[in-house]
Amino acid sequence: MKKLDLRNTDFRVIVGPKLITEIKRKSKEKGGPYLLHKSTQATPTIYYRLLNGGGIHNKYFYQILDFLEIDKKDAEKEIIGLTYNGGKFVYPYLPQLDPLLFRIICHIIGDGSVASKHTCRWIQHKDNSHWLNELIKEKLGFSPTVSKAGSESCDAVTISAYFHRLLKYYLNISVKDIKNYESIKKFHKLPNEYKLQFLFAFIVDEGHIRYGNARSLIISQKEKGVIEEIAIILDSFDFDHSIIRKEVSKKGDIVYRLNIYAEGVEKMYKEIIESMKKYGKYAGLWQKQTLLEEYIHTLKRPKGF
């Protein structure tokens, strides 16, 4: 996953006390905020906003660094938060998009919807919505907004426009196109741990696990192109699966589905366990993890067979 180049974003930068002290010292040597303003677009107001712990547009930030001859890499280590115009929260500065942050974005594809101003919502039964809520809180430091989604049984978890920006700046994908299979094609070039988190997120949202008399792990979707991209990802990990079948749902909709066969499920289960060891419980199948465990248990053979 490529690193984030702040200069090509619209984020506003908030820095810590160590860098503030260095900026004050260098500014004094260079003649103070007035001369800084004469040489850059950073007005004294912008300069003092930065020193007082406020966010300034990244272009002014880098102009200040250039004028004061402060090393950019060292300065970026002192960034303690990002915000953006109109945003009321302070978000973490993440030079790289880790797999779990990427996973949050992926849930827009399954049970998500794009709302106004590039915010998104993840619709889920109220008994299960806490998974995404807790993951966002763990990664950002605060909980997202959760509201009722049309009925008392479902919640809508807000995925803020911060994630829209991560999607745009890391993968060059507009949030309005995220559910398009052409956008998902870009995931094939990502490292395996990112592709796996996309796959696990999609199974949480669009998968069905059964372990009774007829064991099955079925993935279904209305968009054939999306299922075709899922099949390519399954093939890349050698997770054995069926062909894509066209069916009519109970509601009368046309859906496309594929079944991951038992050997494929076993291989995928091993990857899930490794992911959870590395990244924690949020890297698994969430509320469907227990169903998967029961499925795997039915595949075990007694000794002597």
CATH number for the domain harbouring residue 11: 1.10.260
Q: What is the pLDDT of residue 88?
A: 76
Q: What is the pLDDT of residue 164?
A: 85
CATH number for the domain harbouring residue 137: 3.10.28.10
The answer on 188 and 276 residing in a single domain is yes
pLDDT, tens digit only, all 305 positions of the chain:
778 889 889 899 999 999 999 999 999 998 888 888 889 999 999 999 999 999 999 999 999 999 999 999 999 999 999 998 766 789 999 888 899 999 999 999 988 888 766 788 899 999 999 999 999 999 998 888 898 887 788 999 999 888 888 889 988 888 888 888 899 999 999 999 999 999 999 999 999 998 777 688 999 999 999 999 999 999 999 999 999 999 987 888 899 999 999 999 999 999 999 999 999 999 999 999 999 999 999 887 555 43
- Tell me, yes or no, whether 89 lies in a domain: no
Q: What is the pLDDT of residue 301?
A: 55
**Distance (Å, whole) CA 260 – CA 266:** 10
Domain span including residue 239:
182-305
Task: Give the distance from CA 105 to its chain's centroid.
Answer: 3
The answer on 277 and 225 residing in a single domain is yes
- Tell me, yes or no, whether 155 lies in a domain: yes
Do 37 and 47 contact (CB within 8 A), yes or no?
Answer: yes
- Tell me, yes or no, whether 91 lies in a domain: no
The answer on 265 and 199 residing in a single domain is yes
The answer on 160 and 107 residing in a single domain is yes
The answer on 191 and 292 residing in a single domain is yes
The answer on 115 and 25 residing in a single domain is no
The answer on 191 and 168 residing in a single domain is no
Tokens, residue 161: 């426009």
User: Identity (one letter) of the amino acid at 213?
Assistant: N
The answer on 217 and 302 residing in a single domain is yes
Structural domains in the chain (count): 3
The answer on 298 and 220 residing in a single domain is yes
Domain termination residue (choose one: 50, 83, 116)? 83
Q: What is the pLDDT of residue 302?
A: 52
The answer on 305 and 190 residing in a single domain is yes
- Tell me, yes or no, whether 163 lies in a domain: yes
- Tell me, yes or no, whether 282 lies in a domain: yes
Beta bridge partners, 259, equal 218
Domain termination residue (choose one: 27, 61, 83)? 83
Q: What is the pLDDT of residue 250?
A: 80
The answer on 255 and 157 residing in a single domain is no
Q: What is the pLDDT of residue 298?
A: 87
The answer on 102 and 135 residing in a single domain is yes
- Tell me, yes or no, whether 92 lies in a domain: no
- Tell me, yes or no, whether 25 lies in a domain: yes
Residue reference for tokens 């002014």: 60
User: Taking the model in full, what pTM does it have?
Assistant: 0.89
Domain termination residue (choose one: 179, 210, 231)? 179
Q: What is the pLDDT of residue 304?
A: 44
- Tell me, yes or no, whether 188 lies in a domain: yes
Do 272 and 239 contact (CB within 8 A), yes or no?
Answer: no
